[in-house]
Amino acid sequence: MEMNVIIKCVTVLLINLIVFVASSSSILKSKESSKRQNILFVVVDDLRTSLGCYGEPVMKTLNVDNLAQKSVLFEQAYVQQAICGPSRVSFLTSRRPDTTRLYDFYSYWRVHAGNFTTLPQHFKENGYVTQSVGKVFHPGLASNFSDDSPYSWTNTPYHPSTEKYKMAKVCPNADGSLGVNIVCPVDVNKMPEGTLPDIQIADFAVEFLGNMSKSEQPFFLAVGFQKPHIPLKYPQEFLKLYPLSEIQPAKHNTYPERLPLVAWNPWTDLRERDDVKKLNVSFPFGPLPSDYQLLVRQSYYAATTYVDVQLGRVLSALEENGLAENTVITFIGDHGWSLGEHQEWSKYSLYDVATRVPLLVYIPNVTYTRLDDREKLFDFIDPLHDNKNQEIMQGPEKDINELSLLFMSEDKVQAEHLNLIKNSTIQKHHYEESSRYQNGYRTSALVEMVDLFPTLADIAGLPTVPLCPPQPFSTLLCTEGASFLPLIKNITGSDNKHLQPKVTRQDVLKYDETTLAEQCDERFATVTSEPVWKKAVFSQYPRPSVLPRDDSDKPHLKDIRIMGYSMWTLDFHYTEWVSFIPANYTILWEELYGVELYLRALDPDEINNMALFTRCASLVKALSRQLHQGWRNALPN
């Protein structure tokens, strides 16, 4: 009798234990499935699309390329103004410069325009830990000398201690002296504090990820790398990756015919550096001596690879802390940079090379799924010390002042780059087995940086960011872009062929002006590529005058007299330079100071401005009307 009671009691206990375990397991699974995705938001200063994944054969950006293979790569992503402060405030608020009213560095949008909610603020208000590392907002008055704290960030924004040495005389000259130079390869051990800002930025981000791996709270980590912004200061060992014999000048490196004077960027910040001052380059056109052009391009490439390595360290920390499959990654440049194209150096223009930027978006199990448990998504790749690459990388280091005119052929450079990718540690795994792993997803659909805010909110499942009203200044949360998450979902679906615009890129040298002008007639203006997302994207840039002067690159608001408004469709790049009244932000479209029209398929390098050709008049009229209708008329259906 007593035995039966004991057995019954034990049975009940076992049943309750089983139910409890099953219930606990169910709760754990529920918590796991409902865990929100983290965000890693990487911004690189002055980064153009000169990356391996964007088809630049000489570039060694293996960590970015690895991320691209697991992301959607946007081939046509544009900033709203090609200068740091206005561009960053624009994409971090999802408002265009005419709404933030920031065209320079000297106002704080919350006071000057409206108390707009920012991208990190939206995540903070929805339960995320938000952390800024390095240059995310532009420092100074443009972010209230606080990186917009405490609005945008849970924690105090981190800035590297070596930032204060940005303008220090640490760059070696041929005579052994030190200067504030553009070209600045350095011995890191001899630098103040024995390190560099981007190394410190990566260090802090790695430490933050280690700490957050122990937390249940989701995070929004924004990492802002400072190079390849000038001065081009980077560890000198990266020079060995780019011998001068492999560096070529820009394809079109002379002043373009028919370029309106108002469009010219006289690159004054380059002229202010010690090494360029010694060259006595004439103002405002130059040109920079041909040998120094190669040195600047070499240092830009080296500085870019240096940042690529720091990115690799951060991505590897994401992997090692078990966060790679629960973190959305975006990788962007804040604007492009002219490396001698059109005889220009720096940003500050409306050329494609200054306004188009790299944009990669990785969404776990959407843009890429781990193939098996052994695969590391983001293994660190060091091009300087990877044993697989020693034969390629350990050639004799070239002296910085040596100049060879025996340029390596483009085919040889491309073959060497592909060989480098195939033999690196992470690339070798599954290289032949998975074409998706090789290439990732790509789209030529037009997108803008103001689209990032609503897109990331949608990906994370946060409250939808509504479209801004025509008078948006009193609206705290809204977007002047459009979430491209639907575009990503289509691209990563089974059939994405319909998403690729039918734009044929051809060599402009095959076409003379007469042939180009024939494409401008009214018939051609109505037979354009079918838009697959936005009909057009937009950017702008201010000028103080028609003739170039010392402040043409960075005019203060009070001095702006002309505003350039630029529009890209799949077929055309069209710009009008018009009167602007800074006192009341009035645009006078009827007062024209310059017009530019480039046929993108036939003239991708933007050499032939066709706006003044009689046969292009009908096309100019149609594009002018579309430009004046603005961004709202170009939104995706």
* Three-state secondary-structure class, residue 173: coil
DSSP bridge pairs for 328: 39
Q: Are 614 and 589 in contact (CB under 8 A)?
A: no
Cα separations in angstroms, 240 against 189, 229, 243, 454:
18, 20, 6, 42
How far apart (Å, rounded) are the C-alpha atoms in residues 324 and 337?
31
Which residues, 6 or more positions from 170, have their beta carbon under 8 angstroms from its beta carbon?
A: 178, 184, 186, 190, 191, 192, 233
Q: Are 110 and 57 in contact (CB under 8 A)?
A: no
9 is catalytic: no
* Three-state secondary-structure class, residue 215: coil
Report the chain's terminal Cα–Cα distance, integer Å: 77
Take residue 322 and report the two structure tokens written for it: 């078990």
Exposed, middle or buried: residue 544 (CB in 10 Å: 0-12, 13-18, 19+)?
Answer: buried
Take residue 125 and report the two structure tokens written for it: 């208000």
Take residue 30 and report the two structure tokens written for it: 């529920």
How far apart (Å, rounded) are the C-alpha atoms in residues 172 and 399?
12
- Pair type for strands 441-448 and 72-78: parallel
Cα separations in angstroms, 351 against 161, 293, 341, 461:
35, 19, 9, 36
- Of the residues 53, 84, 478, 520, only one is catalytic, namely 84
The verdict on whether omega for the bond into residue 185 sits within 30 degrees of 0, i.e. cis, is: no
Reported residue count of the chain is 637
DSSP bridge pairs for 496: none
Take residue 376 and report the two structure tokens written for it: 């590391």
User: Smallest Cα–Cα separation from 599: which of 588, 609, 591, 586?
Assistant: 609
Supply φ then ψ for residue 42, to 5 degrees.
Answer: -105, 125
Q: Are 597 and 620 in contact (CB under 8 A)?
A: yes
Crossing angle between the packed helical segments 452-460 and 84-93, to the nearest 10 degrees: 40
- Of the residues 53, 122, 138, 417, only one is catalytic, namely 138
How far apart (Å, rounded) are the C-alpha atoms in residues 432 and 629?
48
Which residues, 6 or more positions from 412, have their beta carbon under 8 angstroms from its beta carbon?
A: none
Which residues, 6 or more positions from 240, have their beta carbon under 8 angstroms from its beta carbon?
A: 384, 393, 394, 395, 397, 398
Q: Are 185 and 102 in contact (CB under 8 A)?
A: no
84 is catalytic: yes
Take residue 293 and report the two structure tokens written for it: 């052009």
How far apart (Å, rounded) are the C-alpha atoms in residues 349 and 345?
10
* Residue written as token pair 């090609």: 82
What torsion, rounded to 10 degrees, do the Cα atoms 600, 601, 607, 610 define?
-70
- Pair type for strands 183-186 and 338-339: unpaired
Cα separations in angstroms, 561 against 71, 283, 285, 577, 582:
42, 21, 21, 10, 7
How far apart (Å, rounded) are the C-alpha atoms in residues 107 and 142?
5
Q: Are 478 and 508 in contact (CB under 8 A)?
A: no
Catalytic residues: 84, 138
